[in-house]
């Protein structure tokens, strides 16, 4: 089945949606009108930031509109290294359309579906960005991404969360300290800092794709259950090429209240 991307010049950003019947259709962002007036200040006033921003990108190597969002995520991660935590989830519903994304998992599709339900969207789509569990938009929208991240950095004061990680006995042992609460979960993500893929088939066939902070494993626990979990290292694991990103999230509305990261010792 050949997919057709509907390009709307007036909007400049488009993506794909997956409706309940499994059929893809074009989706575009809202017109960028008044948001343009502060475009020169999109990066301003973050030096005294008191907050944090967890940026979750739902993407796929099989989606032709996703590489620009992947590149934008990498740019954000390189430019904003303080209190900004980016995660790239590769969903699996594109895998049957010509290219199997090696980083895709149904678990990431299920996580995206939870956001679809919370935001009352008609369907899932890629590329989709979610900021602190509070808002979502097309992941390739540069202005919206930087504006939203700066807003959270300056307005969203984070809670307490500590995390450490060490390799021992062939496992990645992750310890965390979060305030006990029955209303939240702690998410612990093992992310690969950089990956590259030569795509052979599908919409991105022949392209060299680069990804930032690809989520390889994710553990979701109640903060009072335990304070340590372990991951099995992926093949060809090198600790310097991975890190742990942790964040606390409300169970009911999925808003994120704290975040932290740790290098793997």
Q: Give the separation between CA 25 and CA 104, rounded to whole angstroms.
A: 21
Tell me the whole-structure pTM to 2 decimals. Answer: 0.83
Lowest model confidence (mean pLDDT) among 80-89, 157-166, 206-215, 248-257: 157-166
Q: What is the mean pLDDT of residues 222-244?
A: 92
Q: Per residue in 118-131, pLDDT tens? A: 999 999 999 999 99
Q: What is the mean pLDDT of residues 131-136?
A: 98
Residue 28 is predicted with a pLDDT of 35
Q: What is the largest CA-CA distance in the chain?
A: 56
Band of residue 254 on the pLDDT scale cut at 50, 70, 90? very high
Q: Give the separation between CA 169 and CA 95, rounded to whole angstroms.
A: 35
Q: What is the mean pLDDT of residues 93-98?
A: 94
Q: What is the mean pLDDT of residues 218-225?
A: 90
- Tell me the fold of 14-28+51-263: Immunoglobulin-like (2.60.40)
Band of residue 19 on the pLDDT scale cut at 50, 70, 90? very low
**Burial degree of 226 (CB within 10 A; 0-12, 13-18, 19+):** exposed
Mean pLDDT of the chain: 85
Q: How far is CA 122 from CA 23, 39, 211, in A?
A: 12, 30, 27
Q: Give the separation between CA 201 and CA 189, rounded to whole angstroms.
A: 29
Band of residue 49 on the pLDDT scale cut at 50, 70, 90? low
Q: For residue 253, give both structure tokens.
A: 């509305």
Band of residue 157 on the pLDDT scale cut at 50, 70, 90? confident
Report the phi/psi class of residue 169: left, alpha or beta, with left for phi > 0 and alpha for psi in -120 to 50.
left
Evaluate if residue 27 carries a pLDDT over 90: no
Number of H helices, E strands in the chain: 3, 14
Strands lying side by side in the sheet with 228-231: 161-168, 171-178, 228-231
């Amino acid at each position: 089945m050949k997919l057709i991307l509907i390009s709307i010049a007036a909007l400049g950003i488009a993506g794909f949606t997956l409706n309940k019947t499994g059929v893809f259709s074009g989706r575009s962002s809202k017109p960028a009108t008044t948001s343009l007036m502060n475009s020169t200040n999109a990066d301003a006033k973050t030096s005294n930031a008191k907050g944090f921003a967890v940026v979750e990108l739902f993407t796929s190597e099989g989606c032709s509109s996703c590489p620009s969002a992947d590149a934008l995520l990498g740019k954000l991660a390189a430019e904003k290294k303080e209190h900004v935590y980016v995660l790239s989830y590769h969903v699996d519903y594109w895998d049957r359309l010509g290219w199997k994304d090696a980083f895709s998992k149904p678990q990431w599709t299920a996580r995206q579906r939870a956001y679809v339900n919370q935001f009352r969207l008609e369907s899932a789509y890629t590329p989709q960005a979610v900021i602190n569990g509070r808002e979502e938009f097309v992941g390739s929208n540069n202005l919206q991404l930087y504006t939203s991240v700066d807003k959270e950095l300056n307005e969203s004061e984070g809670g307490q969360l500590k995390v450490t990680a060490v390799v021992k006995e062939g496992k990645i042992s992750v310890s965390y300290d979060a305030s006990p609460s029955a209303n939240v979960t702690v998410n612990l993500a093992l992310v690969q800092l950089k990956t590259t893929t030569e795509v052979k088939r599908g919409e991105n066939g022949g392209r060299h794709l680069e990804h930032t902070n690809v989520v390889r494993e994710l553990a979701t626990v109640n903060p009072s259950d335990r304070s340590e979990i372990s991951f099995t290292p992926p093949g060809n694991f090198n600790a310097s090429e991975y890190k742990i990103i942790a964040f606390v999230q409300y169970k009911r509305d999925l808003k994120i209240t704290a975040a932290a990261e740790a290098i793997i010792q």
